[in-house]
Structure 1
Amino acid sequence: MLSATANASRSQYTTVEAPSELLNGNPGPALDEIESLGAEAIRLMVAWREVAPEHESNRKPSFNSTDPNAYPDGAWSVYDTAITSARARGIRVHLTITGPAPDWATPKRDGLTKPNPNEFGKFATAVGRRYGRQVAVWSIWNEPNLGKLLKPIARNQSAKVYRNLYLKAYSGLRSAGVRAPIVLGELAPNGNSLKDQGTIKPLVFLRSMLCLNAKYKPVKVKGKRCAKVPAQGVAIHPYANRAGPFLKPPADNVTIGVLDRLTTAVDKAAKAGAITGGRLPVYVTEFGVQSLPDRRLGVSLAKQSDFRSMSERIAYLNPRVKAFSQYLLRDDYGTGWEYGAFESGLFLHKGRKQKPAFEGFRMPLVVVPSKKKTRATLWGLVRPARAAKRAGSVRIEFADRGKKWRKLATQRFGRTGYWTRKVNTKPGRAFRVIWTAPDGKKHTGPKTVAHTRP
């Protein structure tokens, strides 16, 4: 029972995004935590406006914007520190070049409406020249289908804006000598009907960006067919609501439970000649499960851990998924009612108390129910062992309602860290795993139960 599903993505790696800890000038403690949990990568976003000189000016200052040394003193310092510190620990870096733009690069001087693609391409060239050899994967613009991050969204105009931004940035990175994969998208998962701050459905946005109609047939622009878009992957942020992995949103939205919608769409786009390559990989570059204290969208702390692990298993079972993500180490500050606050971390903000998802991230465990209520399959991963390519074993325990924990079995796993086991079960039975690290420290995973509905 050492191996998991044969066609699963056992080469999939995990990225952690923790901007408040990694971009504060002292990323060491957070990187040590990420390394101890077994994550192999971090994602950072370089915001154009944060680096550009005189970003509130209506007129572009005189400087060579393709030269990273022409930017203000200290403009790159937090990124330099985070990237250098990550690489020193053997942690790879995924870098997203994103907005908002400096005012002088947008016609409305708002940093969001129709950023100048030529200027953005020059900025991408500068970023590529500074970090080209240090970055494992690149992506262009965070959640471009979200109206508060790129405008205008009326009639899907931002998709065309994004196409031009992406192509210029892609060209700029390649001209700077970047050879690593460049992925498009970083798409938000769900559309809505808000006029200005709303979101275009990700697959609608993707088709518009690639000049395809709803049936994935090419659409001419100004009488000409659009050129093929180069890409080495597509990135998605497949967040769900309280239904978690059980959510089945309307067509053209992509949440974790319907991740295969994206691979299907990408394959259709490639077949139509709109994008390079075939069977492009998918990068889940931002994902988390919202928990209490968010009283609007959050689930219980226990369910957050279970839903997070279930979501990772969904990604694992999709062989096209190259990377999975944990968004936030520590929850955002907030009472749970503020719009935009993320309580998807592994620590509570208050007191930095570990959630069940902390050890659940180190050692994901899913109880997969079967048609027979007396049988189930356990799916698990020991993430640090996977990162170290070290085989080992876990102790599996179970507990029935009102009963103490009892040993079920010792389960071995191979160098990939993944394992599965068929077990007997009954309603209300919970499972957990205990792993002893090479340094002798014992880690106990959270109580985990089967879920058949939200």
Structure 2
Amino acid sequence: MLARQRLLGAGTVACALLCALLCMLPARALASATQESVLMDDNEFIYSSPQHIAGRLDQLKGLGVDRVKISISWGLIAPDPTSRQRPKFDATDPAAYPAGTWDRYDTLVRLAHQRGLKVYFQFTPPAPQWAIPRQQPTNQGIPLGQTPHSGEFGQFVQAVGRRYSGTYLAPAPAGSSSSSTSAPDAIPRVDYWGIWNEPNFPSWLNPWYRKLPHGKREFLQPSAYRGLVDAAWNGLETSGHGADTILIGETANFGNLTPMDFVRALYCVSPAYRPLTGAAARYVGCPTAGNRGHFAAQHPGLFKATGFAHHPYSFDYSPGRPYPARTFVTLYNLSQLEGLLNRTFAAYGKSRRGGVPLYLTEWGYKTDPPNPFVKTSPAQQALWLDEGEYMTWRDPYVRSLAQFLLVDDAPNSMYPVGSRLYWHPFQTGLTTLDGTRKPSFAAYRIPIWLPVARHGHRVEVWGQLRPADHTSLQSAALQYRRAGSASFETIREVRTGSPEGFLVAHVALPSPGQVRLMWQAPGGGELEYSRAAPVG
């Protein structure tokens, strides 16, 4: 049972409880009431020792993360990745790849499975050099994102799908299992996939244009990505993953094409949601003639994928404010992307009941300290992560929100110390590089948000007990501290009302101060607190 602290005076308590009973509403039955908590940090989970990975996964479990997102990098697994000559091997057969190249991923999948954590594999570049067309120009980006032959990519996807089907037998890599035997056993199944990373950004998919007569350009990223989606869709279906969660998009806000323009070009529709024809189609690599039915049949992954993934960074701006660059799709204006996807699907006669789901698969805020070139403080990071969680909970299209980084990236030592490029990596972690917890660590674990942060008779308090056991209702104490008071006092108990531990209460707060949630896991353990949310 939740530990109790000293309550407010009897009269205040009675008033608060009566108002709460009369005004409390159950958690809203929104689609996002079941949204997953995802976290991505490749440095911690695929470029570390099994012992380190195990410790970090334990940390994620303690934070209440549901799923860990992992870049499954083709170039780390493929044979002879720097050779222009394709090796002779069956690229669809996991056993045909070099010994040991799968170990980092096998280890992660096994260790996550042991802890009840789910895995999300995102196929990412670089591709092996032998999979890059020889005639392809290389002066429009970095080798990381060179567009491969889609057929070769599809074979690689099929190999990954076969290995992580849930039935593929392989010895556990050293350190990935508590068993002392090296006998082969089945690698746990992965059933959640993302296709490529930020295909509208030149570093991740290039070349991004080719010159046409009369000074015109053809934007190559939409058609290149369409081919990658086709190949990956076929590879996943062939390997038994057609019914899995499969995400396309993974779009960036910075890019050669804005997220909205990229989606229109990917689906070959005009701003009026009519199929492109003629020169307008040619400029973005779309068929210049044909009917809607043919296009949808030729590209099933575009229309049958589980949902669309986007990275809604708003950098030094809170999620509740419009970003100055109106071409960005942030949490503030997600409805624009939602409307675009729904109208695009409708244009092809492929409308979905409830709309096209959105998966927000990379998000966070860099902080100062340590990065002196950003304006977001660690306290603001904590505040904005909670606000963003609340906003996505309210959005019925959103199925998941992914925190980018558990631990801050190290500075880039290739550049002068203290320069902007030195600090170019992401300091979006919940801890600093030395392991110091930022305020966002506790805020992420138990988010709290007041949509209207003013005292009154009916103040809405939203929160989440992210690490709680979501198979049963959980309780927390809602605590209040008047302005000028030295201590918090419990005013009522609140309960979760959804599978992911979300809760909503309406309470009377008689004067300015602060509110917070206090939670203790059933059976004992340390008391855990949300941040203290101010009430004006």
Q: TM-score, normalised by structure 2?
A: 0.77
> 1:245: how far off?
0.6
- C-alpha change, 1:236 and 1:336, in structure 2 (3 Å) is farther
SS at match of 1:377: strand
Q: Does 1:324 align with 2:397?
A: no
Counterpart in 1 of 2:35? 12
The aligned amino acid for 1:158 is: Q
Whether the 8 Å contact between 1:396 and 1:432 is mirrored in structure 2 is yes
Whether the 8 Å contact between 2:494 and 2:505 is mirrored in structure 1 is no
Distance 1:79 1:213 in 2: 41
Whether the 8 Å contact between 1:247 and 1:255 is mirrored in structure 2 is no
- C-alpha change, 1:371 and 1:431, in structure 2 (3 Å) is closer
Choose the corresponding residue for 1:167, options 230, 236, 260: 230
Identity over aligned residues, as a percent?
A: 30
Distance 1:85 1:399 in 2: 42
Counterpart in 2 of 1:354? 437
Q: Does 1:227 align with 2:295?
A: yes
Distance 1:113 1:308 in 2: 34
Q: Does 1:130 align with 2:160?
A: no
Larger Rg: 2
Counterpart in 2 of 1:51? 77
Q: Which moved more, 1:112-121 or 1:439-448?
A: 439-448
Distance 1:323 1:346 in 2: 18
- C-alpha change, 1:2 and 1:219, in structure 2 (3 Å) is same
Counterpart in 2 of 1:194? none
| Superimposed CA distance per residue, residues 156-197 of structure 1 (whole angstroms, 9 cap, x where no aligned partner) | 311110000111111111011113121111111x24xxxxxx
Choose the corresponding residue for 1:394, options 472, 476, 480: 476
Distance 1:349 1:426 in 2: 42
Whether the 8 Å contact between 1:390 and 1:415 is mirrored in structure 2 is no
Structure 1's unaligned 5+ residue stretches are: 192-197
The aligned amino acid for 1:247 is: R
Count of aligned positions: 442
Counterpart in 1 of 2:410? 333
Choose the corresponding residue for 1:30, options 53, 56, 63: 56
Structure 2's unaligned 5+ residue stretches are: 1-23, 167-188, 210-217, 278-286, 297-301, 412-417
Counterpart in 1 of 2:502? 418
Distance 1:70 1:248 in 2: 50
Q: Does 1:449 align with 2:534?
A: yes
> 1:277: how far off?
4.3
Choose the corresponding residue for 1:308, options 372, 385, 390: 385
Choose the corresponding residue for 1:266, options 337, 341, 345: 341
Counterpart in 1 of 2:462? 379
- C-alpha change, 1:400 and 1:242, in structure 2 (3 Å) is farther
- C-alpha change, 1:442 and 1:136, in structure 2 (3 Å) is same
Distance 2:246 2:367 in 1: 32
Q: Which moved more, 1:435-444 or 1:120-129?
A: 435-444
- C-alpha change, 1:388 and 1:71, in structure 2 (3 Å) is same
The aligned amino acid for 2:465 is: V
The aligned amino acid for 1:142 is: N
Q: Does 1:150 align with 2:232?
A: no
- C-alpha change, 1:258 and 1:15, in structure 2 (3 Å) is same
Q: CA RMSD in A?
A: 2.4
- C-alpha change, 1:120 and 1:8, in structure 2 (3 Å) is closer
Distance 1:301 1:347 in 2: 10
- C-alpha change, 1:426 and 1:161, in structure 2 (3 Å) is farther
> 1:46: how far off?
0.5
SS at match of 1:9: helix
Choose the corresponding residue for 1:409, options 475, 491, 496: 491
| Superimposed CA distance per residue, residues 235-277 of structure 1 (whole angstroms, 9 cap, x where no aligned partner) | 1111112112133244553112222222211101110118674
Counterpart in 2 of 1:120? 153
Choose the corresponding residue for 2:249, options 146, 166, 185: 185
SS at match of 1:132: coil
Whether the 8 Å contact between 1:46 and 1:96 is mirrored in structure 2 is yes
| Superimposed CA distance per residue, residues 365-391 of structure 1 (whole angstroms, 9 cap, x where no aligned partner) | 012216888864211111122x43232
| Superimposed CA distance per residue, residues 63-101 of structure 1 (whole angstroms, 9 cap, x where no aligned partner) | 111111111111111111101111122211111111121
| Superimposed CA distance per residue, residues 295-347 of structure 1 (whole angstroms, 9 cap, x where no aligned partner) | 22341111111100110111111112111111111111136943541111111
> 1:215: how far off?
2.1
